[in-house]
């Protein structure tokens, strides 16, 4: 870690102007699975050296996987060649920052045998009639250094563990497949994870066309997070608000979504996959309420966008953009006895973030009726994420982290179900 910090200090000294340096080193141990067998076990290491130079209102970013003065030279050359931005107020000064928990010793000290044992557990967890066609189990240990010309120099250690599985079920000429993943910073049990995917794969072997519209739709965490990320969260970005590219501009203090829901951007979340002590400008991260009981409270900002808007940075600066950290959704839970449950969708990236309109194909879904699951297929969903959130009925208690969003399943009356032709 000291070596990485020293390299960052060397790069910082080579550049003129306001400078941001971001260095990462990661080592990953991965077991790959193919057709119910462990096919390979490998270790890989990656390095990234990123330098962002600000000169006279211009900026140049250079990224390399090799430590060299050339990464600084390229950044300086780009800063001189590019057009100046709309404004530039400098980099924030150094401030005290708290370090959230990001490192787990058990993950950091996992051996090849530990990883092979997890892989075998996943294979053994497959129910009868289901094959684990492909997948992987991996653990990662990383180092990160962030330095700026304002005296910021922070280095951290991080861990991550991930399981991925794709399953196939075959019966009486029918074929069904399902894919899922789980990623954490701390160890988790892979047997229930793999078993759940296997059972899901079997369930959808018998999917029938959906023939009725059910008022209550439950979006599981994966599809809910995809739609939230693509069709709603960009409206909370301070840069989009400034450019009048947000449907929420000028609405601070208004009730926008259901009063049963709250939403927070939390850069200090313990073991959060997007947590950190500071952002890439050097501003300490924090917990920023976005919505409290449905009322819009804040947008997210980097330093310069915040100064221009006459407010304070929320610690959400990337190297060249404003980025969310861990978006945590909380809300009230109500029992739902009958609903259309959406397990996965296709096409969330086509959503219109300004209007929050979306139209997606449903990949896997089932009708939940008094505890019974009836698999269905052949339909689409459309609507506005504003309506989805305004007409929320319940937020599930079982929370998952998906696309940087920590949430339970969302039950809502704000989704349009478009039946296919039969």
220-243: pLDDT as tens digits:
999 999 999 999 999 999 999 999
- How many domains are there within the chain? 2
Exposed (0-12), middle (13-18) or buried (19+): which is 9, by Cβ within 10 Å?
A: middle
Phi, psi of 388 (to 5 degrees): -55, -45
- Cβ–Cβ contacts within 10 Å for residue 174, how many? 11
- Say yes or no to pLDDT of 210 above 80: yes
173 pLDDT tier (thresholds 50, 70, 90): confident
Same-domain check for residues 197 and 227: no
Q: What is the pLDDT of residues 359-379, one digit of tens each?
A: 999 999 999 998 899 999 999
Measured CA angle at 406 (ends 319, 21), to 5 deg:
15
Residue 272 contacts residue 310 (beta carbons within 8 Å): no
Same-domain check for residues 130 and 225: no
- Say yes or no to pLDDT of 2 above 90: no
Cα–Cα distance between 5 and 121 in angstroms, integer? 39
Residue 34 contacts residue 133 (beta carbons within 8 Å): yes
pLDDT at 16: 87
Same-domain check for residues 227 and 157: no
Q: Which helix (H) or strand (E) holds 198?
A: helix 190-203
353 pLDDT tier (thresholds 50, 70, 90): very high
Same-domain check for residues 324 and 219: yes
Query: Which percentage of the chain shows pLDDT scores above 90?
Result: 96
Q: Which of residues 203, 220, 244 is at a domain's end?
A: 203
Same-domain check for residues 142 and 232: no
Residue 418 contacts residue 379 (beta carbons within 8 Å): yes
Q: Residue 7's domain is classified under what CATH number?
A: 3.30.2290.10
- Say yes or no to pLDDT of 304 above 50: yes
Q: What is the pLDDT of residues 52-94, one digit of tens each?
A: 999 989 999 999 999 999 999 999 999 999 999 999 999 999 9
How confident is the model over 96-108, as a mean pLDDT? 97
pLDDT at 422: 43
For residue 331, list its beta bridge partners: 261
pLDDT at 421: 54
Q: Which of residues 162, 180, 203 is at a domain's end?
A: 203
pLDDT at 290: 98
**105: containing domain:** 2-203
Phi, psi of 235 (to 5 degrees): -70, -10
pLDDT at 1: 54
172 pLDDT tier (thresholds 50, 70, 90): confident
Could you tell me which residues come within 8 angstroms of residue 371 by beta carbon, excluding any fewer than 6 positions away? Answer: none
The pTM of this model reads 0.96
């Amino acid at each position: 870690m000291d070596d990485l910090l020293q390299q960052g200090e060397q790069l910082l000294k080579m550049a003129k102007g306001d400078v941001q340096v971001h260095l990462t080193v990661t080592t990953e141990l991965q077991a790959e699975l193919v057709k119910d067998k462990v096919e390979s076990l490998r270790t890989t290491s990656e390095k990234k050296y990123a330098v962002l130079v600000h000169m006279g209102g211009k900026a140049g970013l250079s990224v390399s996987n090799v430590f060299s003065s050339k990464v600084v030279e390229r950044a300086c050359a780009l800063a001189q060649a590019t057009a100046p931005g709309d404004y530039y107020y400098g980099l924030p000064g150094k401030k005290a920052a708290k370090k959230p928990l990001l490192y787990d010793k058990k993950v950091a000290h996992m051996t090849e045998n530990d990883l092979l044992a997890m892989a075998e557990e996943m294979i053994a967890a497959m129910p009868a009639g289901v094959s684990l066609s492909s997948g992987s189990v991996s653990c990662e240990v990383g180092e990160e250094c962030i330095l700026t010309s304002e005296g910021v120099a922070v280095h951290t250690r991080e861990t991550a563990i991930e399981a991925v599985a794709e399953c196939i079920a075959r019966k009486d000429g029918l074929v069904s497949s399902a894919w899922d993943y789980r990623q954490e910073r701390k160890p988790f049990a892979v047997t229930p994870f793999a078993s759940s995917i296997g059972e899901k794969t079997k369930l959808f072997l018998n999917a029938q066309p959906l023939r009725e519209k059910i008022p209550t739709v439950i979006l599981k965490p994966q599809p809910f997070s995809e739609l939230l990320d693509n069709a709603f969260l960009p409206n909370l970005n301070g840069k989009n608000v400034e450019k009048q590219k947000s449907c929420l501009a000028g609405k601070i203090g208004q009730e926008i979504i259901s009063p049963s829901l709250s939403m927070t951007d939390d850069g200090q979340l313990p073991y959060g996959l997007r947590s950190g002590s500071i952002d890439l400008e050097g501003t300490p991260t924090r917990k920023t309420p976005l919505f409290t009981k449905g009322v819009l409270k804040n947008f997210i900002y980097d330093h310069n966008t915040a100064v221009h808007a006459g407010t304070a940075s929320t610690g959400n600066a990337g190297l060249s953009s404003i980025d969310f950290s861990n978006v945590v959704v909380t809300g009230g839970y109500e029992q739902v006895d009958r609903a259309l449950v959406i397990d996965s969708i296709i096409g969330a990236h086509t959503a219109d973030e300004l209007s929050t309109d979306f139209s997606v194909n449903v990949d896997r879904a089932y009708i939940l009726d008094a505890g019974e699951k009836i698999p269905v297929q052949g339909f689409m969903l459309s609507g506005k994420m504003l309506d989805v959130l305004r007409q929320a009925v319940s937020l599930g208690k079982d929370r998952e982290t998906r696309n940087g969003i920590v949430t339970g399943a969302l039950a809502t009356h704000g989704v349009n179900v478009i039946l296919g032709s039969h």
